[in-house]
Amino acid sequence: MRTGVTTIRHADSSIIKEAKRRGEALGFPYIPRGDTLEEMTEETGLSGFLIYGKQLPLYWSDGEEYRFHMGTAVLRTTQLRKGNPDRLCALLPADGPCDVLDCTFGQAGDSSTMSWFLTGRGRVTALEKSPILYEVGRAGIAGYEDKDESLTDAVRRIHLIHADYREYLAGCRDDAYDVIYFDPMFRHPVKRRENDMEGFRAAAVYDSLTAEILREALRVCRRKVIVKERPFAGIFRDPIFTDVRMKRGQSTAYGVIEKR
């Protein structure tokens, strides 16, 4: 997948300058905006573009767009505020300091929900290997505004790093984080009529979670590793898991590896 950087139509000099600056930082070529993005892909051979304008940057590929959005995080934090449990947050320590490493940032929903839940006692560091999703997320975190100031603050507290979690974990000291979290589920296809995610999927990195990575994560965590996957996922057959929590009617399960 070859990506370029461009701008909205009739961009002023400051937008063009920012697009060029970010393209250089990400290693993507800057392409002056043409009449249509379809024509630009045909002329350049690129498969997609990060587009900069007056609003947050977005990613375009084959007629589909991906913009920063919170997914279900707004609904989840609203439910938490009402005293209703969240399946992921219920697995985090209920009290005391807790620093989380989210190895699969993706759309920001889990990182944002955990950051809100840990307000005042912990921080979420998130990793994103895809340079496209990292860039959309970086700008989204910096520019996010919600009527709920506590959610805005929670999003802004996320420390997002452009990194491959395999390399990042290998460089971490023992017991560097309380909890390490993986959600590789975006690799499962979703029909467009159910969830318009083609733009996101075109930008995502599809690395597989392996037993070797789980054991490296266990070395780096102080308390536990959490994995979100399909209930039937083969990774859950690994005896390293101390608990796999499934819920009737849910298409997801959470596997837990407690540090002993």
> For position 187, what pLDDT does the model report?
53
| Average pLDDT over every residue of 44-70 | 93
> For position 196, what pLDDT does the model report?
55
- The pLDDT tens digits of the residues spanning 154-193 come to 999 999 999 999 999 999 999 999 999 999 865 555 444 4
Model pTM score: 0.92
Sheet containing 48-52: give its strands across: 3-7, 48-52, 58-61, 64-66
| Average pLDDT over every residue of 214-224 | 98
Q: What percent of the chain has pLDDT over 90?
A: 82
> For position 190, what pLDDT does the model report?
44
> For position 71, what pLDDT does the model report?
77
| Res 153 pLDDT > 70 | yes
125 or 232, which is more confident?
A: 125
| Average pLDDT over every residue of 101-111 | 95
| Average pLDDT over every residue of 243-252 | 88
- The pLDDT tens digits of the residues spanning 230-246 come to 998 999 999 999 999 99
Three-state secondary structure of the chain:
CCEEEEECCCCCHHHHHHHHHHHHHHCCCECCCCCCHHHHHHHHCCCEEEEECCCCCEEEECCEEECCCCCCHHHHHHHHHCCCCCCCHHHCCCCCCCCEEECCCCCCHHHHHHHHHCCCCCCEEEEECCHHHHHHHHHHHHHCCCCCHHHHHHHHHCEEEECCHHHHHHCCCCCCEEEEEECCHHHCCCCCCCCCCHHHHHHCCCCCCCHHHHHHHHHHEEEEEEEEECCCCHHHHCCCCCEEEECCCCCCEEEEEECC
> For position 132, what pLDDT does the model report?
95
| Res 224 pLDDT > 70 | yes
| Res 100 pLDDT > 70 | yes
| Res 251 pLDDT > 90 | no
Judged by average pLDDT, the poorest of 88-102, 119-133, 185-199 is 185-199
> For position 191, what pLDDT does the model report?
46
